[in-house]
A and B are shown apart, each in its own frame.
Chain A
Amino acid sequence: DIQMTQSPSSLSASVGDRVTITCRASQSIASYLDWYQQKPGKAPNLLIYAASSLQSGVPSRFIGSGSGTDFTLTISSLQPEDFAIYYCQQSYSSPRTFGQGTKVEIK
């Protein structure tokens, strides 16, 4: 199985801050990397697919980048509704695997 490792596990930030979350795969996954946002009591919501493609309806402040083994999700200007847990997931091969999550909290 491909292991996905996110960092940090949690972070505190203020509204307006630029936030960066990283995700590393245990082997090359080309650009088969997706990002999800999950709020308490809700199902995850797709933000980015194929490393950098913005899902329809997702604000442009969410930016994905990377390829191979190293990927980044950047929130260019953190908004109050962005406080949540973020997961990366590889879709290069099955079984699909997720990172352990990054909790973005209010500073």
Chain B
Amino acid sequence: QVQLQESGPGLVKPSQTLSLTCTVSGGSISSGDHYWSWIRQHPGKGLEWIGYIFHSGSTYYSPSLKSRVTISVDTSKNQFSLKLTSVSAADTAFYYCAREPSMINAFDIWGHGTMVTVSS
């Protein structure tokens, strides 16, 4: 059974770079036709899709965050990562990684999420 687990610092200073990793267990990140996404949720608010990566490395980012976002994949470690530069308090949120099989085009597996606070 595939599981996802986010990891990374819970506190980031303003103007610095937020870096998170999602580790995929129970299956290979390279197998199947899956997109691997990052999604965030500001406390008490709705869901915001950040972007996805395919195991080949192709990416798509939300236009609202595109200038600050990089998603990468490390197939040897079965991980994909998020970098968000020049963060501010507005980037304080729960960050989730999720899998989207192209066969169903829906996020069928999610990580538990990790809270990232931007504060000095």
The complex places the Cα of A42 from the Cα of B106 at a distance, in Å, of 18
Known contacts A43-B111, A43-B112: A98-B49 contact under CB 8 Å: yes
- Total number of residue pairs linking A and B with CB closer than 8 Å: 59
Interface size bucket, B side? 20 to 34
Interface of A: prevailing SS: loop
Q: Is the CB of B108 within 8 A of A100?
A: no
What is the minimal beta-carbon distance from A88 to any residue of chain B, in angstroms?
Answer: 10
Q: Is the CB of B106 within 8 A of A98?
A: no
Name which residue of chain B comes closest to A97, CB basis.
Answer: B49
What is the minimal beta-carbon distance from A90 to any residue of chain B, in angstroms?
Answer: 9
Q: Is the CB of B107 within 8 A of A36?
A: yes
Q: Which 5 A-B pairs have the closest CB atoms?
A: A49-B106, A91-B105, A43-B110, A34-B106, A96-B49
A residues adjacent to B (C-beta < 8 A): 1, 32, 34, 36, 42-46, 49-50, 53, 55, 87, 89, 91, 94-101
